Amino acid sequence: MKNLAPDRNPSDKALIIIPAYNEERNLPKLLEKIKDKYPDLQTLVVDDGSSDRTSQVARSHQVRVVSHPFNLGYGVAVQTGYKYALEKGFRYVVQMDADGQHEVDDLGALLKPVTAGLCDLALGSRFLGAGGYRPPLSRALGMRFFGAIGSKILGQPLTDPTSGFQAMNQRVLKVYVGRHYPDDYPDADTLVMLHFYGLKILEVPVRMYAKQGASMHKGLWRPLYYMAKMCLSLLITYSLKEHFHRRRPKE
């Protein structure tokens, strides 16, 4: 872990958060690779009401587990992890998916600019590097549309607003545990919110792979709901701009 930052070793102050829903098949490989590559980092699996053995599998790999009694949604799952991180005093968090979509080898590169103080949130982008990720057409259109809106508001390029592969400091955590964090699909709206809070966002090239299993945007109505919901959420977030400006979090 010495390569994460030239002037500090954050391994005892960083937490990996993995939200998981029915991921007993994918978790073993992911947790084993994390332990092999980053043995000094602590890991928390948030079991979002799984009906399989997700919790038992995670515990068998000697990682911390918090379980919801039933499925509450992705946003609630990661927010549970953020609250845990703040309560336990972690200075940095990396969040990644449980389904093997995110490349464990890129975790250090994602965490480095945050621990070095170059940004508050490092957002992993699958489109900045040499990866071959190709999303479905409907998802790609949504990424481009909301990426363009986010880029305009942030005043900087935003190539992957839907990325769930992120590293952050305590200032971001304090925003993410608030009541304005969405409980279903945190996306471009949360990045705009961070910008209005005065926090710095930096995109970092990472590798991502096709999702295993069903996508939350599968079918006709889910993408339409997502588009409508995100447009409304961005409008509400923009209307609260001055509110966020006055409440910049401190670490």
Q: What is the pTM of this model?
A: 0.85
Distance between CA atoms of 190 and 75, rounded to whole angstroms? 11
The string of DSSP letters for 187-238 reads -HHHHHHHHHTT--EEEEE--B-PPSS--TT-SSHHHHHHHHHHHHHHHHHH
Q: How confident is the model at residue 196 (pLDDT cuts 50, 70, 90)?
A: very high
How confident is the model over 57-93, as pLDDT tens digits? 999 999 999 999 999 999 999 999 999 999 999 999 9
The owner of tokens 């986010």 is: 150
Q: What is the pLDDT of residue 215?
A: 40
Report residue 85 CA to chain centroid gap: 14
Torsion (CA) 68, 108, 42, 72 in degrees, nearest 10: 0
Domains and CATH numbers, the chain: 2-245 (3.90.550.10)
Q: How confident is the model at residue 212 (pLDDT cuts 50, 70, 90)?
A: low
* Start-to-end Cα distance in the chain: 23
Residues above pLDDT 70, as percent of the chain:
86
How confident is the model over 7-49, as pLDDT tens digits? 344 455 999 999 999 999 999 999 999 999 999 999 999 999 9
